[in-house]
């Protein structure tokens, strides 16, 4: 039987979140995810409703993540771009994910073309 983690096991991402809220209080609020499955990880997600690409770029720059360290993918529906980057902050592994919509004119121009 596996050991049940206590809240103390999440101290690294909770500390990182506290530091981020103090250091970057002016940045757009992301969706925040903490999990006992990955107790050292803090996930920050930015969707079109909370700034999408612009918000992702603001967080990427604030966290000091190089532009070439961002993974860029288009989902199979060809409507959604997903950007992902990783860094360490405040003792936690931070995953930054941004979602944004592919503009309709780009989708139309790429119809039938492999992404």
- For 24-61, the pLDDT digits (tens) are 999 999 999 999 999 999 999 999 888 888 999 999 99
Mean pLDDT of the chain: 88
Contacts 24+ apart (CB under 8 A), 52-56: 52/98, 52/99, 52/100, 52/101, 53/81, 53/83, 53/98, 53/100, 55/27, 55/28, 55/30, 55/98, 56/83, 56/96, 56/97, 56/98, 56/100
pLDDT for 111 equals: 55
**Site of tokens 């592994």:** 93
Q: What is the pLDDT of residues 19-33, one digit of tens each?
A: 999 999 999 999 999
Average pLDDT over residues 70-92: 87
Question: What pLDDT sits at residue 40?
Answer: 96
Segments of 1-115 assigned E as strands: 31-34, 41-46, 71-74, 80-89, 92-101
């Amino acid at each position: 039987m596996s050991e049940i983690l206590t809240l103390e096991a999440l101290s690294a991402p909770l500390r990182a979140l506290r530091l981020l809220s103090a250091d970057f209080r002016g940045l757009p609020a992301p969706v925040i995810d903490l999990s006992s499955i990955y107790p050292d990880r803090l996930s920050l997600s930015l969707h079109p409703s909370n700034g999408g690409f612009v918000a992702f770029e603001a967080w990427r720059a604030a966290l000091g993540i190089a532009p070439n360290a961002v993974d860029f993918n288009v989902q199979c529906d060809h409507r959604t771009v997903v950007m992902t980057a990783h860094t360490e902050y405040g003792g936690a592994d931070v995953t930054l994910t941004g979602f944004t919509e592919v503009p309709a004119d780009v989708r139309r121009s790429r119809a039938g073309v492999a992404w």
